[in-house]
Amino acid sequence: MCRVEDGCPGRRGLYGGIGPGRMRCRSEEHSHCAGGEGCAAARGGGRGRDRGLLLLVTALSLLSRFYRLSEPPHVCWDETHFGKMGSYYINRTFFFDVHPPLGKMLIGLAGYLTGYDGTFPFKKPGAKYEHHKYYGMRALCATLGSCLVPFVYLIVLELTRSFTAAFFAAIILIFDTGCITISQYILLDPILMFFILGAVLSMVKFSGMKDRPFSASWWQWLILTGVNIAGALGVKFVGIFVTLLIGINTACNLWHLLGDVDISLVEFGKHLLARVLCLILLPLVFYTILFAIHFTVLNKSGPGDGFFSSAFQSRLIGNNLFNASMPEYIAYGSMITVKNVQTAGGYLHSHWHLYPEGVGARQQQVTAYLHKDDNNLWIVKRPDHTTDTDGPAQYVHHGDVFKLEHKETSRNMHSHQHEAPLTKKHFQVTGYGMNGTGDSNDFWRIEVAGGQSGDLIKVLRSKIRLIHLATGCVLYSSGKSLPKWGWEQVEVSCSPYLKETPNSLWNIEDHINAKLPNISLDVLKPSFPEVLLESHVVMIRGNSGLKPKDNELTSKPWHWPINYQGLRFSGTNETEYRVYLLGNPVIWWLNLSSLLVYLLLFSITVVYLQRGYQPVHHIRAITWHVLLQSSDLLFSYPAAQRVYTGGVICMIFLCVHSFYLFHPLSYGMIGPLAQDPHSPMSGLRWMESWEF
């Protein structure tokens, strides 16, 4: 029996041992470890065993993820969102989502390459796919979900040099019903986890190359780390956490190099430059290219138009602003539409309906409306109501006072010190007067954000505020929906708080004035950097505004590590095909030993759903085995080694048996519910909160 110590060339092989950085040769023939034939034979045997186990866990992972992949043949849970978004890519129709585009792009590409034509509407869960080819999109997610198992195997093997730990880590993911379920449907989760674990694997492999700096393998793993960082960020913003992990690891490595007296400052500079290029610049370039492809493919007007600015919409084929022409600057007598610049901001709107009794003054309603409509049209008038019909047009400037007359009803936009219908500390905004005749409460001062006296008001591009002259309040869209008497349109109020926010900023979208020359809106289209910046502002606002929908099942963070609550993916009664997202209880409860990683949870998501815990669950699976294998003291005794091996075998048996009991949750079931003694799940509701 021989021990490979630090000086042995076999120490860094992919075979090996019980503790990190050490290996026990199982044959007396391998008694000469100083680079001799015995140690080489051990390395060869270790590599063969590594390949065999890697192939085994990969095959099991593929089998478990692709088994009954086409079932059920209807939309399940969030497939209604991400399948629909894949269709939008195939049809080149613009849409909005709070996540970056890579995951949806890959789903759309998989569907396109496997014959899906993008015509299925994905209206709601339970809708039958019928003749539509959905399998390719599920297969993409299953394939990437299957890769997580070999990734975890290789990560744990690299960190511990223990086949036992690596194999057990892989078994945990192979037989976890939750991981299987999340990988079998058209979702972003398996795509996100592919890039997160790909980044961790690349980082670990790169760290193992520290004695071979600037070799081909060293560059390969460094570049792959950067690509996977960009991939994780390109699927969901929670990918920032793996970026932070790699950043901390890189900073530690550089600090160690800086303190190494054998490394010159020139050599250290090369290391620093390589990491800047591959871990900062390369991910930024790759991430930017993703958005360039996203905007190039999605070039047709669609349901996402209204979330973006008027200038952005002018890029989209089919939008009324695409290839349109209109006067560049507004003037008195111009007919305009005014749009709020906040995410999904509506158009300033009015109609013949009055505010009801008890809601401010009983005058004409002024609201924000999310759709194009003739009632969105307003005419810019002088405060003295004079109009020179024969003279040249006179432009409106920053700081000018004017009136806005509603074209359809001929009433002026008006405010006064009655409280707004919903935002009680704001003032009410109404339509008042007749045929443009009103009172001094109809006067508004226009200001361009960041502007100065004399600046003109440019369509699409100028962001303006409308200050009520009598009260000093600013025109404001609260984003709150009015009751049915207001047709559930958005409240418009006048805010006494003058802080500049998106709610109080507006832009001119449509503009008609026969006295002014038209220009093509092509010259006002935003540049790619402007589009990229706007899209991120809109996504960040969308994420910050995420709230659970009415009756949507959510969970609390403390529920997740203990597997307290599952989630229905499909079906609710005994006649329907039921799929229920729930982790393998034995596996999840075993993983509680690495509970410290759970602290990451509170930063990961706003809307608390169990699937948001999946990245942490995977990292816990790795951490648990690395911590266990790191105890050199424990595994230096043969008796402890035998106990450990026996314990691992017992835990594998428990995991597989638990999977056998709970696998119908992942692969689907029809028939009696769990409370029925004839149900295959009878007796398995170990927690009352499990609803299968």
Which residue did the predictor score with more confidence, 411 or 49? Answer: 411
Average pLDDT, the chain: 85
Q: Are 469 and 445 in contact (CB under 8 A)?
A: yes
Q: How far is residue 58 from each of residues 137, 152, 655, measured CA to CA in Å?
A: 20, 11, 18
Instruction: Please give the C-alpha separations between residue 5 and each of 8, 11, 35, 205, 460, in angstroms, as whole numbers.
Output: 6, 7, 12, 21, 70
Q: Are 379 and 334 in contact (CB under 8 A)?
A: yes
DSSP state of 28: G
**CA–CA dist 363, 416 (Å, integer):** 11
**Can you name the residues that pair with 432 across neighbouring β-strands?**
412
- Burial pattern 98-134, b for ≥16 Cβ within 10 A else e, equals bbbbbbbbbbbbbbbeeebebebebeebbbebeebeb
pLDDT at 5 over 60: no
The pLDDT value recorded for residue 33 is 43
The residue whose two tokens read 């192979």 is: 174
User: pLDDT grade, residue 404 (50/70/90)?
Assistant: very high
Distance CA 430, CA 412 (A): 8
- Over range 193-205, report the average pLDDT: 95
Residue 419: is its pLDDT beyond 80? Answer: yes
DSSP 279: I
CA dist list (Å): 280 to 56, 227, 246, 272, 683:
36, 10, 11, 11, 53
pLDDT reading at 272 higher than 60:
yes
The predicted pLDDT at position 398 comes to: 96
Residues 600 and 619: their CA atoms lie apart, in Å, by 10
Cα–chain center distance at 622? 24
Pairing outcome for strands 2-4 and 23-25: antiparallel
Helix axes 265-276, 240-258, angle to 10 degrees: 170
340: three-class secondary structure by DSSP: strand
Residue 455: how many CB atoms within 10 A of its CB? Answer: 15
Please report how many Cα atoms fall inside a 13 Å half-sphere around the Cα of residue 492, on the Cβ side: 29
Residue 103, pLDDT > 50, answer yes
**What phi and psi values does residue 93 have, to the nearest 5 degrees?**
-100, 130
Q: How far is CA 615 from the centre of its chain?
A: 13
Contacts of 373 (CB under 8 A, 6+ apart): 347, 349
Question: pLDDT tens digits for 478-507?
Answer: 988 999 999 889 999 999 998 889 899 999
pLDDT for 95 beyond 80: yes
Res 168: pLDDT: 87
Q: Is the pLDDT of residue 607 over 60?
A: no
Cα–Cα distance measured from residue 32 to residue 8, given in angstroms and rounded to the nearest whole number:
10
Place of tokens 């026969």: 514
Residue 53's nearest CA partner among 170, 184, 148 is 170
> Which pTM does this prediction carry?
0.82
User: With b meaning 16 or more CB within 10 Å and e meaning fewer, what string describes 173-191?
Assistant: bbbbbbbbbbbbbbbbbbb
Cα gap 449→446, rounded to integer Å = 10
Q: Is 496 exposed, middle or buried (0-12, 13-18, 19+ CB in 10 A)?
A: middle
CB of 107 within 8 A of CB of 172?
no
In this prediction, residue 616 carries a pLDDT of: 54
